[in-house]
Amino acid sequence: MQQHHHWTGLPPDARGASVTMGNFDGVHRGHRALIDHARQVLPDAPLGVITFEPHPRQFFAPDAPPFRLMNPAARAHRLERLAVDHLYELPFNAEVSGMEAEDFVRRVLVAGLGIRHLTVGEDFHFGRKRGGDVTTLDRLGRELDFGVSALPLLGEAGEAPFSSTAIRQALSEGRPEDAARILGHWHRIDGPVIHGEKRGRELGFPTANMALDGLHVPRLGIYAVLVDILSGPHAGETHRGAASIGVRPTFGGDAVPNLETFLLDFSGDLYGAELSVALVAWLRPELAFGDLDALIRQMRQDVADTRRVLA
């Protein structure tokens, strides 16, 4: 998959794509329906996804609490697995946010990307103050010679359409199974293993520590997880694990939560390696223990519960 970070200066093979456009946070089942349609409607054209960085919500409210389900690298990795040919990760800045909808279509989609077809959801809005919609796209598509498809929102019978908001709600309530149902895959937290205080090693449960910077934080507690090792000497391996998302109250509490994962039946050095940690089941809330013996007993129970859940 080729990645492009502006709409100007593209190589010839990056133009003329059948594209879909949006933030694609989580790349859930609704997003996948758009991608699949964009692939099918013009099977002879390259398949492209147009998204923005930073997320427009971050641009307009930089001090808001973290909300993203995945960082840009994780999103790109997921889109590549879906056989997207081109990811147009366009800058969202004062210039783009101030473009009127028609100007965006003419300058970015047509003159810049040279799109042949655009697939969006029926509720799609874009441009300055969200002034453009599907009607705008239909009119400009006829004028500027590109096709437009507006798909109905995808969801299960009797329930709200699939959305990143619903996924965040499920994760906040400790329901990773429901988040996975909307996503079509386990919710994953990707990132490098960083150095911690090595308390887990001292307790007999060495953990891989990962930061949650910029990401929506799921319900604090202990999770049964599946871990893909993406880089380093153990790249390509998948392991079961027991993970803690929290602030370590037994040791005084941290200012911000992080992710600590104990990989079952694993021996090796993971510092600096990229991991992808899939949340499979929430096991229990984070607790403060009066002594280390009580903590170790509970950690042993957490490992046993993890083995049972992931069996």
Element (H or E) spanning 86, and its range?
A: strand 86-91
Q: How far apart are the first and last CA of the chain?
A: 35
Nearest to 284 by CA among 264, 262, 301: 301
Over the range 229-252, which residues count as b (16 or more CB within 10 Å of their CB) and which as e?
bbebebeeeebbbbbbbbebebee
- Give the DSSP per-residue string, 296-307: HHHHHHHHHHHH
| Token pair listed for 71 | 């960082």
Q: How crowded is residue 12: how many other Cβ atoms within 10 Å of its Cβ? A: 7
Task: Look up residue 251 and give its amino acid.
Answer: F
Residue 80 to residue 86: CA distance in whole angstroms = 9
* All residues at 6 or more sequence positions from 2 whose CB lies less than 8 Å from its CB, including other chains: 14, 85, 86, 87
| Token pair listed for 151 | 């798909």
- Give the DSSP per-residue string, 255-306: SS-EEEEEETT--S--TT-EEEEEEEEEEE-----SSHHHHHHHHHHHHHHH
Query: What pLDDT does 184 receive?
Result: 95
Angle at 83 between CA 6 and CA 227, to 5 degrees: 100
| Token pair listed for 263 | 């990989």
Q: Backbone phi, then psi, for 145, in 5-degree steps?
A: 70, 55
Instruction: Check the CA dihedral 138-142-144-146 and report its sign.
Output: positive
Residue 180 to residue 279: CA distance in whole angstroms = 9
Q: How crowded is residue 142: how many other Cβ atoms within 10 Å of its Cβ? A: 11
Cβ proximity of 124 and 22 under 8 Å: yes
Query: What pLDDT does 192 receive?
Result: 96
* All residues at 6 or more sequence positions from 172 whose CB lies less than 8 Å from its CB, including other chains: 216, 218, 219
Nearest to 165 by CA among 57, 67, 95, 249: 67
Instruction: Check the CA dihedral 281-286-290-296 and report its sign.
Output: positive
| Token pair listed for 26 | 């989580």
What string of pLDDT tens digits covers the 311 residues of the chain? 999 999 999 999 999 999 999 999 999 999 999 999 999 999 999 999 999 999 999 989 988 889 999 999 999 999 999 999 999 999 999 999 999 999 999 999 999 999 999 999 999 999 999 999 999 999 999 999 999 999 998 888 777 889 999 999 999 999 999 999 999 999 999 999 998 766 666 667 889 999 999 999 999 999 999 999 999 999 999 999 999 999 887 766 676 899 999 999 998 889 999 999 999 999 999 988 888 888 899 999 999 999 999 99
The conformational region for residue 133 under phi > 0 = left, psi -120 to 50 = alpha, else beta, is: beta
Tens digit of pLDDT for each residue in 121-138? 999 999 999 999 999 999
The pTM for the full model equals 0.91
Cβ proximity of 53 and 72 under 8 Å: yes
